[in-house]
Amino acid sequence: MRIGIVSTAVPLARGGARLIVDWLEDKLREYGHAVEVVYIPCTEELPEILPQMAAFRMIRLDHYFDRIITTRPPAHVVQHPCKVVWLLHHVRMFYDLWGTTYSPVPDNEAGRALRTAIMAADRTALGEAHRLFANSHVVANRIRRFNDLESEVLYPPILRAEVFRSGDYGDEIVSICRMERHKRQHLMVQAMASTKTDVRLRLCGPTLDPGYVEALRESARQHGVADRVKIESRWISEEEKIAILESALASAYVPFDEDSYGYPTLEAAHARRSTVTASDSGGVSEFVTSGITGLIVDPDPVALADAFDRLHANRTLAQKLGTAASERVTTLGIDWTTVIGKLLS
């Protein structure tokens, strides 16, 4: 089958939304399909959004491909008689973030008109899809609530789960994740000031916001925990990631209202590491059950510190939760055979 994977992208920016496309491409080829990836550049500046969506919709794909799979929004507005949408998230400032401080869309006539237009376009684009998948229950619920459509949850696996290794449970709570404000690494740094054990924190990942990383470093100095907090602001290779997780105590992932469980959670689970997350982290709780596959605490430095200390003081607990996390992957059917089967159905 000739398959096109269509996604929007920020030029030169890497991250989870790119990986899902790259990995899907590899896997579809492995299954014997001809695949082309089409990355369309896209900005989220308000006056530019609708014209860009109109342009995406004009791209002719039907004579080149038997099937199109779209991922990152608003790529799903492209047209094709056999369009499969695997929605990773909405353009959230018009949806769940609308009316919060996280949304730049003004609550005035122009802002509301733009929001109505985007929602109408999405309703059409999602409604016409041959199949509609969401990467999590969080996104599926939003599709139901905002777009009045039913979707099926299809969890994104990582490319090669088998490469992860599990060694002794060490001193480090690790966060291998893009460093951005809404990922809230600052809560973890602040938490370190309230810990009572020798637990250490390691933050690593690239950023689009160097100011945030600088603020993290400054916070570590101010709280007097710089010697126990390691910050590596760069892309982390797969090999490094494997090594960091192999000897970690656990992973921490406390984004604000994330759409899915997130690759950091899944990668940690493949390395038999549990995840410490927050009660307002959204889709992470689809994977993490507190006390079973990780710890869920209030989005508060003191509560996080307590969770870090509990794991540091009790390696048996860290191991037990980590092992259960690893088993959770199988229970949820997070694997490529499932994904390819569904996307090609």
Partner 1 sequence: MVPFVHGGAEELYIHLIRNLRQAGVDAEGMRIPFTWEPAERLIDEMLIARRLRLYNVDRVIALKFPLYMVPWPDKVLWLLHQYRQAYDLLDVKQSNIPDDDRGREIISAIRKADNTAFSESRHIYTNAPITAKRLWDYNGVQSGILRPPLNDPELFLGGQSSGYVLATGRVNSAKRQFMLIQALRHAPGVRLVVAGPPDSASDADYLRQLAIQEGVEDRVTFELRLLSRQELAQRVNEALAVAYLPFDEDSFGYCTMEAFCAAKPVLTVSDSGGVLDIVRDGQTGVVVAPDPEDLGSALRQLAARPAHSAALGRAGREALESARLTWPTTVEKLLS
Tokens standing for residue 129: 């899809």
Q: Which of residues 60-89 bind partner 1 (CB under 8 A)?
A: 60-61, 63-65
Q: Which region, judged by CB under 8 A, interacts with partner 1, from 48-56, 123-131, 134-142, 328-336?
A: 48-56
Element (H, E) at 11: none
Q: Which region, judged by CB under 8 A, interacts with partner 1, from 57-65, 184-192, 215-223, 321-329?
A: 57-65
Taking phi over 0 as left and psi of -120 to 50 as alpha, with beta for the rest, 145 belongs to alpha
11 binds partner 1 (CB under 8 A): yes
Q: Which region, judged by CB under 8 A, interacts with partner 1, from 42-50, 146-154, 182-190, 252-260?
A: 42-50
Amino acid (one-letter) located at 189? V
Q: Binder to partner 1 among 30, 36, 152, 298 (CB under 8 A)?
A: 36
235 binds partner 1 (CB under 8 A): no
Q: How many CB atoms lie within 10 A of CB 156?
A: 24
Q: Binder to partner 1 among 1, 29, 55, 337 (CB under 8 A)?
A: 55
Q: Binder to partner 1 among 1, 29, 30, 43 (CB under 8 A)?
A: 43
31 binds partner 1 (CB under 8 A): no
Q: Which residue has the tokens 């494997």?
A: 242
315 binds partner 1 (CB under 8 A): no
Phi and psi angles of residue 180, each rounded to the nearest 5 degrees, phi first: -140, 160
Phi and psi angles of residue 176, each rounded to the nearest 5 degrees, phi first: -105, 100
Please, which residue, 182 or 196, has the CB nearer to partner 1?
182
Q: Which residue has the tokens 């089967």?
A: 341
Q: How far is the CB of 7 from partner 1 (least distance, A)?
A: 11
Please, which residue, 50 or 243, has the CB nearer to partner 1?
50
Q: Beta strand pairing status for 229-232 and 200-204?
A: parallel
Q: How far is the CB of 27 from partner 1 (least distance, A)?
A: 18
Q: Which residue has the tokens 């250490």?
A: 200
Distance CA 284, CA 268 (A): 13
29 binds partner 1 (CB under 8 A): no
Distance CA 74, CA 242 (A): 33
Q: Binder to partner 1 among 32, 51, 101, 239 (CB under 8 A)?
A: 51
Please, which residue, 10 or 340, has the CB nearer to partner 1?
10
Q: What share of the chain is helix, strand, coil (3-state, %, to 5)?
A: 45, 15, 40
Q: Which region, judged by CB under 8 A, interacts with partner 1, from 41-49, 116-124, 157-165, 224-232?
A: 41-49
Q: Are 219 and 189 in contact (CB under 8 A)?
A: yes
Q: Binder to partner 1 among 208, 214, 221, 291 (CB under 8 A)?
A: 208
1 binds partner 1 (CB under 8 A): no
59 binds partner 1 (CB under 8 A): yes
Overall size of the chain counted in residues: 345
34 binds partner 1 (CB under 8 A): yes
Phi and psi angles of residue 327, each rounded to the nearest 5 degrees, phi first: -70, -30
Tokens standing for residue 296: 């869920």
Angle between helices 263-270 and 238-246 (to 10 degrees): 60
The footprint of partner 1 (CB under 8 A) covers 2, 4, 9-13, 34, 36, 38-43, 45, 48, 51-52, 54-55, 58-61, 63-65, 208
